């Protein structure tokens, strides 16, 4: 991971690095149940997540299983908060409002997560 371009937010010690924690929530158009349309949307969401993983932009990604408002968590390895936001906004489920997200800069020791 390269050094964080959002360093003005905080001082990043040399032995630390910044990832971005992304939390998916139910969005304004979320509805319960399964329909063919929602199944296609979920496949598109999963496919997009795979492309981010394959590109090295997502380190780990997965759903939360308790059925609540929080739907999933990702750890993103990107250059800036703006890049994390742009990649998250491009998710098909976010684009239609089924999911929303929040992002948090997360400082960890270098080498603790797979590079």
Encode pLDDT of 50-98 as tens digits. 999 999 999 999 999 999 999 999 999 999 999 999 999 999 999 999 9
Q: Is 11 helix (H, G, I), strand (E, B) or coil?
A: coil
Q: What is the mean pLDDT of residues 93-105?
A: 97
How many Å apart are CA 41 and CA 103, to the nearest integer?
22
Kindly tell me if the per-residue pLDDT of 2 is higher than 50. no
Among candidate residues 2, 29, 103, 21, the one with its CA nearest the CA of residue 62: 21
What distances in angstroms separate CA 43 from CA 22, 66, 77, 97, 110, one per listed residue? 19, 21, 23, 16, 33
Q: How is domain 18-109 classified at the CATH fold level?
A: Alpha-Beta Plaits (3.30.70)
Res 1: pLDDT = 42
115 contact partners, CB below 8 Å, separation of at least 6? 1
Give per-residue pLDDT as tens, 42-52.
Answer: 999 999 999 99
Give me the residue spans of the domains in the chain.
18-109
């Amino acid at each position: 991971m390269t050094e964080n371009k959002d360093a003005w937010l905080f001082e990043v010690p040399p032995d630390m690095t910044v990832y971005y924690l992304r939390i998916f929530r139910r969005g304004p158009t979320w509805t319960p149940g399964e329909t063919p349309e929602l199944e296609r949307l979920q496949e598109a969401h999963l496919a997009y997540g795979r492309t981010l993983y394959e590109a090295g932009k997502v380190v780990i990604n997965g759903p939360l299983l308790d059925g609540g408002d929080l739907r999933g968590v990702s750890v993103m390895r990107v250059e800036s908060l703006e890049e994390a936001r742009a990649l998250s906004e491009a998710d098909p489920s976010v684009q239609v409002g089924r999911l929303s997200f929040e992002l948090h800069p997360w400082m960890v020791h270098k080498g603790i997560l797979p590079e």
